[in-house]
Amino acid sequence: MRLIPRIFTGLVLLGSLFALPASAQSDYPNKPIKFIVPYPPGGSTDLVARLMSQWLSTRLKEQVVVENKAGGGNNIGTEMAVRSPPDGYTIFLVNPANAINATLYPKLPFNFLEDMTPVAGIIRVPNVMTVTKNFPAKTVAEFIDYAKKNPGKVNMASSGSGTSVHLSGEMFKFMTGVDMKHVPYKGAGPAITDLIGGQVDVLFDNMPSIIGHIRGGSVRALAVTSAQRSPALDVPTVAETVPGYEASAWFGIAAPKGTPPAAIARLNREVQAALADPGMKAKLADLGGVPIPGTPEQFWALHKSETEKWAKIVHFSGAKVD
């Protein structure tokens, strides 16, 4: 008869041990969260991350600290995220380079889609076909005509070889047959500076980092690269002149593979709240962004489709890393 109480007591103790992880997860987060951004401060990726980090810090009641880890064409920060402990206290700002680099770099030490876990999409933004304010062409059609009459003389800037900015321009070259000279920079900042100064002629930059200069009149937008016009700028789409052309940047959050589902669910829930909040929506719209709410799985489906799309452009362009 004494054996039964002992068995019961043992089961209770065993059950309490198994309950500890769930209990520990229920108070997530209970310390600051590191938010890795694989670019320097000030660019499109960093702007989006800082908006979201402020929101999450308030909602989670723990600081979400942006940590810029630039270099290696996005891969230094990405590998840092991949190798981080999957405990819910490291998240990563996903951007188009993660889809492009899967083809651009033949020997990466990670497979992004397999080694990271989706959390949520944030926004999708068009690039903007932007020229110097004194460039002779006023429309996309006039630009194509000018470039064809001056083959190899139009300088196309980018934020780096293989970036979405570069490949948006390569797609334009492929679909129009124009010949432009690619001038890669180390980031959007110096590319924009030289565009303003007239050292280069055209830039297909992400809207968040170029829109202020367009509104200020130091450069001129010809068109947005998205399928639909953007309410943020009163310009047509490239596709209105070049049917079928579409290129856009998109941003979201991922975490190291193996991150607890409870942490993923909490983070996703707070991101969805941000994308539904009028104040946050207004801030994202000011950057030219359209929210992409949804489940982690829906965000990963977008990532996979973009990886396949940019693989084709990388192969066409023959893009190589510097």
pLDDT confidence of residue 167: 92
Cα dihedral: 135, 138, 142, 148 (round 10) = 20
pLDDT confidence of residue 13: 41
DSSP structural state of residue 306: H
- Cβ-count burial of 9 within 10 angstroms (0-12 exposed, 13-18 middle, 19+ buried)? exposed
Low-confidence ranges of the chain (pLDDT < 70): 1-26, 322
What domains appear along the chain, each with residue ranges and CATH number? 27-125+249-317 (3.40.190.150), 126-240 (3.40.190.10)
Block residue for tokens 């565009």? 195
| Cβ neighbours, 10 Å, residue 290 | 18
Give dist(CA 204, CA 223) in Å, integer: 9
Q: How does pLDDT run across 45-90, given as a tens digit for each residue?
A: 888 999 999 999 999 999 999 999 988 888 999 999 999 999 999 9
Block residue for tokens 């996005």? 74
pLDDT confidence of residue 4: 44
Tokens of 12: 């209770």
SS3 176: helix
Q: How does pLDDT run across 32-52, given as a tens digit for each residue?
A: 999 999 988 877 788 899 999
DSSP structural state of residue 73: G
Task: Detail the DSSP E strand segments found in 186-289.
Answer: 202-206, 219-224, 248-256
| Helix locations, the chain, DSSP H | 3-26, 44-60, 75-82, 96-104, 112-115, 140-149, 164-176, 188-197, 207-216, 261-276, 278-286, 296-317
pLDDT confidence of residue 315: 87
Give dist(CA 287, CA 158) in Å, integer: 19
pLDDT confidence of residue 73: 82
